[in-house]
A and B are shown apart, each in its own frame.
Chain A
């Protein structure tokens, strides 16, 4: 009861309500714009959060996360381009249904299923995050090392890309985290005599570079691309018949999305793909999928929004990001001096339940904004890239510079922009780099501290039951893409 009251706290704070309002609005705009999205948007807004108190800052980031994930559906349905990667599966049926003149119905279903998925996942978050945090009290350095390894091996099954390429990208991310002074011995590593690098490479320049700048370069190859936009008259709430057809799918996908979200490093993209394929598998009319199936939209959208709450579980309980956007949120927490983990649950329940409550409200808010404002948000896609991207560049440069007031950070951002472009061009996802970067210090730190505890005996890792469980799970995570590809071949 006490926790429920804490969750309702944002409703009674005009400041938090205002933050939620703008966060949701901003998240929706970011989600609608192809190439942007909650991860880039979160990274860009991070320097601004320095003017806010920690709770407001994280509420802003989480509301961007929730609304941005939903916003991608608007673009997916109307222009057949996912606003965010998590909305890719929504294109498969959303756009064909819109082509049949039922854009309003498609968006109505996307809005309802996203809201249900989002709220479902917040309930999961409220119940499971404290349990996971309680379990984490049993964790020592070796267990955290094994957990971080598990998180990294999960990168193998991110999206549909090559698992080995994902692992290379993850290892590269960890390598970036080793730049600068070694935290145990203060010895310089990969600094090449550049003083600014002794503090290491910041998270923001890498994220903004890999997401925003590489996308700008991608957009430069598409400047003559013409989108076939479908006009939206009005968004329609699903009919009784639609609800009958989809309620099971929405609930199933909400469960799938929440579960996938909880897994370290996985996120909305994987959740929506699995949610979609499971919706097809259980459907009475699987032949309609890909041709405008309302179940397809519900399956994908409920799952990707359910992953938002799920992904917050390991982020808050263990400090292991559940997705790329939660890696940004995790950075936000660290910047504001909040250390995620079990102690956070014991010492700052008001802070945590404030976030949970804010996520719940954000899900309701984007339903209202989406329902009444989808037509306006759809118009945002009309802003030409030749105007939009130079503006994003200006914000990216200033945002990156502002955090440490370092021009080197801006150059690092541009370097990662170019690198990210070529990575994506050759099938390397950039998300593992982010996850690797954020987990890098944890992996190395816990490994080295564990080896001190074990007196250099590596085999001792396998004598700890929890660590051993995570190592076995890591092996399963590595084998999963192989099993999946064999299953799809069949």
Chain B
């Protein structure tokens, strides 16, 4: 089990504090998006009704930046609660998401679901073969068939789905 050691937030330099990092990320992303809005096409005055398409997102992004600065200012007075360190199981689950994307893009959608289910279940502590098969094969097959027959869904092509669709 992972240990959650309390870090002394106030003793940390400001750039290591959560509030600084979170606000910085929000502001950086917002600024990047704000710059993007300047690349939007401009509607000629004769066709334009009301405001330009970029105006509304620009206003929103400026609002987000201002509010982020405000939360940072408030956090200087009242620092945020120190968050627990993330355990290994979190990073493995996150990694499984990336593996899912990779497999679904290159090999097979169904295979990706199976692989993620087995991977996550195993790393979360399930070592019994039957249950791994249940979550990794039996259940996804049932879901696959259900979606395929009830909703008439056609899953994206891949090694296994191609065999199924012949």
Chain A residues whose C-beta falls within 8 Å of the C-beta of B113 in the assembled complex: 393-394, 397-398
Q: Is the CB of B126 within 8 A of A164?
A: no
* Contact assessment for A217 and B83 in the assembled complex, using a CB-CB cutoff below 8 Å: no
Question: Assuming A171-B67, A452-B49, is B117 touching A393 (CB within 8 A)?
Answer: yes
What residues on B are CB-neighbors of A418 within 8 Å?
Answer: 94, 97
Q: How many angstroms from the CA of A366 to the CA of B93 in the assembled complex?
A: 35
* A residues in contact with B109, CB < 8 Å: 401, 407
Over the window 101-122 of chain B, the binary record of Cβ atoms lying under 8 Å from chain A Cβ atoms (1 yes, 0 no) is: 1001100010001001110110
Inter-chain contacts of A398 with B (CB < 8 A): 113, 143-144, 147, 153
Interface locus among A30-38, A181-189, A255-263, A308-316: A181-189
B125 touches A187 (CB 8 A): no
B14 contacts chain A at the CB level, 8 A cutoff:
no
CB distance from B68 to the nearest CB of A (A): 7
Q: How many A-B contacts if CB must be within 8 Å?
A: 165
The answer to whether the Cβ of A375 comes within 8 Å of any Cβ in the partner chain is no
Contact with A along B63-95 (1 / 0, CB 8 A): 110011011001000001101101101101110
Q: Assess A407 versus B104: contact at CB under 8 Å? Given A391-B135, A402-B147.
A: yes
Among A65-73, A345-353, A441-449, the one that faces the other chain is: A441-449
Shortest CB-to-CB span from B141 to chain A, Å, is 10
- The yes or no answer to A167 lying at the interface (CB within 8 A) is yes
Contact A386/B104 with A221-B87, A417-B97 known, Cβ cut-off 8 Å: no
B residues 14-43 touching A (CB-CB < 8 Å): 18, 22, 26, 33, 36-37, 40-41, 43
Cα A48 to Cα B153 with chains together (Å): 11
Q: Is A405 an interface residue when CB atoms closer than 8 A count as contact?
A: yes
| Residues of chain A with a CB closer than 8 A to B131's CB | 386-387
Residue A427 lies at the interface, judged by CB distance under 8 Å to chain B: yes
Size bin of chain B's contact surface: 35 or more
Cα distance, A379 to B127, chains bound together (Å): 22
Q: Which residue of B lies closest to A390 (CB)?
A: B117
A residues 208-267 with Cβ under 8 Å of B? 213, 216-217, 220-221, 223-224
Q: Is the CB of B64 within 8 A of A448?
A: no
Complex CA–CA separation, A447 to B50 (angstroms): 9
- Find the A residue at minimum CB distance from B18: A426
Contact indicator B51/A168 (Cβ below 8 Å): no
> Is there contact, CB below 8 Å, between B144 and A387?
no
* Complex CA–CA separation, A48 to B89 (angstroms): 32
Q: A165 interface residue, CB < 8 Å from B? A: yes
Assess whether A362 is interfacial by the CB under 8 Å rule. no
| Distance A25 CA – B87 CA, assembled complex (angstroms) | 35
**Is there an interface contact between B87 and A168, defined as CB atoms closer than 8 Å?**
no
Chain A stretch 399-414: residues in CB contact (< 8 A) with chain B: 401-402, 405, 407, 410-411, 414
Q: Does A134 contact B (CB under 8 A)?
A: no
Give the residue of A182, A220, A394, A456 whose beta carbon is less than 8 angstroms from that of B90. Answer: A220
Asked if A389 CB lies within 8 Å of chain B CBs, one says: yes
Knowing A189-B40, A391-B139 touch, does A448 contact B71 (C-beta < 8 A)? Answer: no
Instruction: Check if A50 is an interface residue, CB within 8 A of chain B.
Output: yes
Please give the distance in Å from A151's CB to the nearest CB on chain B: 16
**A397 (CB) vs chain B CBs: closest residue:** B113
Bound CA span A150–B121, Å: 44
Residues 124-166 of chain B, each 1 if its beta carbon lies under 8 Å from chain A, else 0: 1110000100111001100110010011011110000000000
Could you tell me if B147 and A223 are in contact, using CB atoms closer than 8 angstroms?
no
User: In this assembly, does B8 line the interface, its C-beta being within 8 Å of a C-beta of chain A?
Assistant: no
Check if A444 sits within 8 Å of B68, measured CB to CB.
no
Considering the complex, which residues of chain A in the window 431-462 have a beta carbon less than 8 Å from any beta carbon of chain B? Answer: 444, 447-449, 451-452, 456
B positions within 8 Å CB-CB of A: 1-2, 18, 22, 26, 33, 36-37, 40-41, 43, 47-51, 53-54, 56-57, 60-61, 63-64, 67-68, 70-71, 74, 80-81, 83-84, 86-87, 89-90, 92-94, 97, 100-101, 104-105, 109, 113, 116-118, 120-121, 124-126, 131, 134-136, 139-140, 143-144, 147, 150-151, 153-156
Add 13 more A-B contacts to A190-B57, A426-B83 (CB < 8 A).
Answer: A51-B151, A162-B71, A178-B60, A184-B53, A185-B43, A189-B37, A220-B87, A220-B89, A390-B121, A394-B113, A401-B153, A414-B97, A418-B94
- 18 residue pairs A–B, Cβ–Cβ below 8 Å: A51-B150, A51-B151, A171-B64, A175-B57, A185-B48, A188-B41, A190-B36, A386-B126, A390-B121, A393-B117, A394-B113, A401-B153, A401-B155, A402-B147, A407-B109, A426-B18, A449-B50, A451-B51
